[in-house]
Amino acid sequence: MKTLILFGSSTGNTSDYAQKIKETLYDAGVEADMLDVAEADGLEYGDYDNIIIGCSTWDDGALQSDFDFHMEDLEEDSPNLNGKRFAVFGCGESYYDNFCRAVDILEDKFADFGAEKVQDGLKIDTSGDDTENESSAFAWTKGLAEVIK
């Protein structure tokens, strides 16, 4: 099974979590390619069985800018993701009304493209406790590894 971690990050928080998720998956026996969505022109989703998506939420519920542009491209030429599995994680700040809304948006979009969501999204509160966030991310990733092996 081939796995991709596709992330969009402006401040580095989401890319840091993408790296932690990659390492935790590797320790659980799952190798994954990692790609910044800003460099995803020509990405062949069909090459992957599992797609793990990481996107921060900006302002009051918007996708990170690189991911926003990527999604515009995908909506113009929708990929057929039937038979693919996915999960979404994202960073945001809980004092916003639309905390981590990017996770919800991307779950809906990738399901619309035909992929199967295999785990509820991970919402990381970057205004919260780092130890708690890392613990939640570790547990989420371990559970995900069991599903996608």
Alpha-carbon distance of 117 to 134, in angstroms, equals 22
Q: Residue 62's pLDDT band (boundaries 50, 70, 90)?
A: very high
Query: Hey, what amino acid is at 73?
Result: D
Range of the domain at 129: 3-148
Indicate the burial class of 140 (C-beta count within 10 angstroms; 0-12, 13-18, 19 or more): buried
Q: What is the CATH number of the domain that holds 34?
A: 3.40.50.360
Alpha-carbon distance of 6 to 10, in angstroms, equals 14
**What is the structure's pLDDT at 36?**
98
Q: Residue 110's pLDDT band (boundaries 50, 70, 90)?
A: very high
Alpha-carbon distance of 71 to 106, in angstroms, equals 9
Rounded mean pLDDT of the chain? 96
| Domain count across the chain | 1
Q: What is the mean pLDDT of residues 84-97?
A: 96
Q: Residue 129's pLDDT band (boundaries 50, 70, 90)?
A: confident
For the four alpha carbons of 75, 124, 35 and 113, in that order, the dihedral sign comes to negative
**What is the structure's pLDDT at 128?**
85
Residue with tokens 């809980």: 94
